Structure 1
Amino acid sequence: LVKGMPGKAGIPLGVMKVLDPRQLKPNSMETERILTVLDETIVKLEITRLIPRITASLERFARMLGPEITSSLLEHQKLSMEVRDLLASPGDEESVRAVEQCLKCSLRNILRLFLANPLLYHGLKYEVRVKESPADVFIKAFMEFRDFMLERLLTSPDEEKEKIQFMEDISLRVERNTETISALQEELAATIQNRDEEVNRKDKMIKNLKTSMEDLAKNCKADIQQIIKEGEKQQKEDEKASQDRCARLEQDVRRLRAQYSALVVEHRASELVLRKVK
């Protein structure tokens, strides 16, 4: 750590200054001048982005802008249309260059007027609604460039070394953590695979048991139906045999009754003969 002073969470103080913008403070006139130029350039880019929208609704913003800026914007709009017309039809190149030069001077004058009135610029920034365009991408990139330049300007060689060392340490930690994560992911994948295989094995076992139970139920049902069928068949056979026995018994009864009747008749005839003999 720098000068033995502890950093936040083990981060060197020099690195903390780079990572925390609140600790970045200009330490020279040259740095302040560079930052001023960059900041003014960003403001100019944002104002330039708003100008077409403002000129399209100049009556709406005229009171806020004031007569001087309104007049300058009207002149700028006129020059823009003149340049557009000259470019649309072939003509004198010197005239085109002259009008373009006037247009550039007009733009510089408008930017100067807005920079002289920062409150007006900030008010218009939130008042004017502009659709996102490639200019926004450029402005964002330029703002990132400004932050990068600030970091470079305010980072001493020792702090730069600390930053590089810190980033290397972070990269090493990330690499080690990545290896650990990869190993854990492989272990997790193997565990999941084993679990899936075990689940599949148990699913197959359950499926086989279910099939066996269904087959057993079918077999039991078939056996029961066979038993019922055989029982019904046996019952019918028993009923038929019983009916046959009953028929035979009835036949025997009729035969015996006939014999009995014949014997009675014969006995009566014999008795009658005997009575006549006496």
Structure 2
Amino acid sequence: MALNILSVAPLYQGPAIHGIRVRTEAPLTLAKPLTPLAPSKSKLTTIEAKRIMSVLDEAIYKVELVTLMSYVESHPEALEGILQEDIMSVMKEHMDLCQVLLENVDALQEEEMRLRQEEDAEERWYQDRHLSIQLHKANLQPLMQEVQDSSKNVLRVLICDPRATKLLQVQAPGRSAEAQHFLQSLTELRGYLFEKLLTNPMEMKEKAQFIQDITRRNKQNQELIDSLENEVTARLKNRDTEVEKENFVIQELKNHLHQVLKFSENSLLRTKQEAEKQQKVDFRASQARLAKIQQELLMLHSQYHNQVTENQEVEQALRKKKYKVETEIENWIQKYDTEMGEKQDEYEDLESIHKEEKLQLEELRQQHVVLVEEFAQIRTEREINSKKRMEAEREMLRMVRAATLIQAVWKGYLVRSMLKSKRKKKKRGKGKGKAKGKVRK
């Protein structure tokens, strides 16, 4: 119940938080917005907007200073010789008030916890305790107001002395997680407010339209996703049914396989029994065949001995025949050697004669070549002479024909010229006769 009224957490938790940017003079920069929703302006133009932003920047700056006070509370000796005495006194008063407020809040929380644990006690005692807690809460309000006034006084003193502010910011290494989260929230609020102030009504309308389009697309995508999920579930159901069918078929096949195995075992047993029976029958038959084969073997042994004796006699006869044939062959070889020696001598004589005749043949061939060349030369000369004679005869014949033709043409020309002269004379005689007749008339 006391937490609903006031919840004060420690504003400093040691040097675990580093790298937190402390505001000094420059304002915080905004993160770059998305391109479709970015405002057309980058700076504030109206005085009202600038005043709003300056008020928010000042509030963030004061919050940054207030969150550094926990370091002064936990390390008062770090700033004793650095800050002025009036500033230190104001800060000590503020820290004392904060300490008193925290003690009262802790006591109130303990009483509420004890009251929750003793809810089964007497009703009158419970009402008295509840009334005392309410009075305690009412007494906290003036103390909270004093803490607020003290905070304002500390901020006023620090803002009036920039040097002390910088020293405090340099000495304090960081803030608690709650304070840092609060500052980040204020920074985000500043960015949102700055973007709102930069955006005109037309851009707001476009942004709303953009958000509606995104929402509509998201809705369409969600509908598509739902339809796909339904299709997937249907496919999964179909797959389950198919799997059940396949499992049923597999079970049927297993049963059939089991029956086949049983049948194969029975058939194997029958086959084994039949094979044993057949083996016994075959063994008996083989024993009978073995006895018969042994008898045949004895008979063959006796035949073998008889055949060996006969073959030995034949071999002796063949050996004698072979010796006789070998002696005859040796005689024939000796006779062949003597005859071949004679033939060799005769061959050598013939070879010498052949060489002499070959030399003579070579000489005759050389003479023949010379004669052939002479004959070829004579024949070429004869051919040339015959060609010349034939050409002369042809030329003579051509000249005779030409002379005959010329004479015939000349004779024709003479005859034609004589005929022309005779005709002219006749024409002249006729003309004179006609003239005389006319004169006579």
Distance change in 2, residues 1:84/1:121 (3 Å): closer
User: 1:58-87 deviations in whole A, cap 9, x for unaligned?
Assistant: 334657x63455444323222333556788
Distance change in 2, residues 1:154/1:209 (3 Å): same
1:16 aligns with 2:34: no
1:150 aligned to which of 174, 190, 194: 194
Distance change in 2, residues 1:184/1:114 (3 Å): farther
RMSD: 4.3
Quote the offset at 1:34 in angstroms.
1.0
User: 1:153-176 deviations in whole A, cap 9, x for unaligned?
Assistant: 222111111112222222222222
1:181 aligned to which of 225, 238, 250: 225
Residue range with higher mean Cα deviation, 135-144 or 209-218? 135-144
1:51 aligns with 2:73: no
Partner of 1:167: 211
Q: Distance in 2 between matches of 1:200 and 1:58?
A: 79
1:33 aligns with 2:51: yes
- What secondary structure is seen at the aligned counterpart in 1 of 2:39? helix
Q: Distance in 2 between matches of 1:83 and 1:227?
A: 105
Q: Distance in 1 between matches of 2:229 and 2:253?
A: 35
Contact 1:17/1:24, CA 8 A, preserved across alignment: yes
Distance change in 2, residues 1:190/1:54 (3 Å): farther
Spell out the pairing of 1:26-175 with structure 2 (5 A cutoff): 26-60=44-78, 66-67=83-84, 69-83=87-101, 97=142, 103-115=147-159, 116=162, 119-120=166-167, 123=170, 127-130=173-176, 132-133=177-178, 139-175=183-219
Distance change in 2, residues 1:221/1:57 (3 Å): farther
Quote the offset at 1:35 in angstroms.
1.2
Aligned partner letter, 1:16:
A
Structure 2 spans left out of the alignment, 5+ residues: 1-33, 109-134, 285-441
Distance change in 2, residues 1:48/1:237 (3 Å): same
- What secondary structure is seen at the aligned counterpart in 1 of 2:38? helix
Partner of 2:235: 191
Q: Distance in 2 between matches of 1:84 and 1:186?
A: 59
TM-score (norm 1): 0.58
Contact 1:54/1:61, CA 8 A, preserved across alignment: yes
Distance change in 2, residues 1:123/1:199 (3 Å): farther
TM-score (norm 2): 0.40
Quote the offset at 1:17 in angstroms.
1.5
Partner of 1:223: 267
* Aligned pairs, number: 220
Aligned partner letter, 1:168:
Q
Contact 1:114/1:120, CA 8 A, preserved across alignment: no
Identity %: 29
Distance change in 2, residues 1:38/1:221 (3 Å): same
